[in-house]
Amino acid sequence: MVNVRILGDPVLRKKAEPVTDFSIVRSLIEELKILMYQEDGVGLAAPQLGISLRFFGMDDGTGFKMIVNPEILERADEKETGEEGCLSIPNVFADIERSRWVRVRYQDEHGSYHEELLQGYSARIFQHEYDHLDGILFIDHLDSKARTALSQQLKKIMEGRKKYQEK
């Protein structure tokens, strides 16, 4: 069983590569689902499993979906603030501004294309997970004041990761 990669792990900062072999995605669905639900997550991206490929799983309350090679085709100018957390940054929550809606295109685990208009909570999850594929974490969206307020907590998480890895 793989562990969720924690802040400070370089894989979380890498730009992930497009998926060409969909069997890799299919072989990871079960593991991704288990990890995501076990940690009470609503989304989990491949880089968080140490896999630098462009896919993620999400569940906005309507069921689990695999999102492969996603694109954001259009986004609302209008922003909405909501609280976010991330399984790679345990126990840290912050208000983040996201576009109110996004029009997206992605492939499923079989390679079929889907186009959807996502709003509110679904749009927020999608934008958060999509960021992971470009090496962006939700804390990067904070202003310097909010980031400073969290700096001790973030430092502790990174130190904890090192200790765990060195064992």
Point out the residues that are catalytic.
129
Q: Which has the closest alpha carbon to 114: 65, 60, 154?
A: 65
As a whole number of angstroms, the distance between CA 130 and CA 27 comes to 21
In whole angstroms, how close is the CB of 31 to Zn ion at the nearest point? 17
In whole angstroms, how close is the CB of 103 to Zn ion at the nearest point? 22
Check: CB of residue 82 under 8 Å from CB of residue 119: no
Binding residues for Zn ion (CB under 5 A): 86
Q: How many CA atoms lie within 13 A of 156 on its CB side?
A: 7
Nearest to Zn ion of 77, 83 (CB atom): 83
Instruction: Read off the amino acid at residue 60.
Output: D
Q: Which residue is nearest to Zn ion (CB)?
A: 86
In whole angstroms, how close is the CB of 88 to Zn ion at the nearest point? 6
Nearest to Zn ion of 113, 160 (CB atom): 160
Nearest to Zn ion of 58, 104 (CB atom): 58
Backbone angles phi, psi at 29, to 5 degrees: -55, -50
Q: In whole angstroms, how far apart are CA 122 and each of 5, 31, 71, 155?
A: 23, 22, 15, 30
